């Protein structure tokens, strides 16, 4: 499939492909959202 080729190209240049946002980015977004809502101390 075309996605397999895209994933292979990303891996060949040292980048890990994700079918969603990267785990680090997802953690950052969750932390930012929690701080903004007051659920987590800023």
Question: Which residues, other chains included, contact 19 with Cβ-Cβ below 8 Å and sequence gap of 6+?
Answer: none
Tell me the Ramachandran region of residue 14: left when phi exceeds 0, alpha when psi lies from -120 to 50, beta otherwise. Answer: left
Q: Specify the pLDDT at position 42.
A: 77
Handedness of CA 20, 21, 22, 24 (dihedral sign): negative
Q: Specify the pLDDT at position 11.
A: 95
| Cα 40 from chain centroid (whole Å) | 21
Q: Specify the pLDDT at position 20.
A: 85
Question: Which residues, other chains included, contact 18 with Cβ-Cβ below 8 Å and sequence gap of 6+?
Answer: none
Q: Specify the pLDDT at position 29.
A: 94
pLDDT tens, residue order, the chain (42 aa): 798 999 999 999 999 888 888 888 999 999 999 999 999 997
Whether the pTM exceeds 0.85: the reply is no
Q: Specify the pLDDT at position 21.
A: 86
């Amino acid at each position: 499939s075309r996605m397999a080729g895209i994933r292979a190209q990303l891996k060949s240049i040292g980048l890990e492909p994700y079918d969603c946002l990267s785990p680090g980015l997802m953690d950052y977004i969750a932390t930012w959202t929690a701080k903004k809502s007051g659920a987590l101390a800023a």
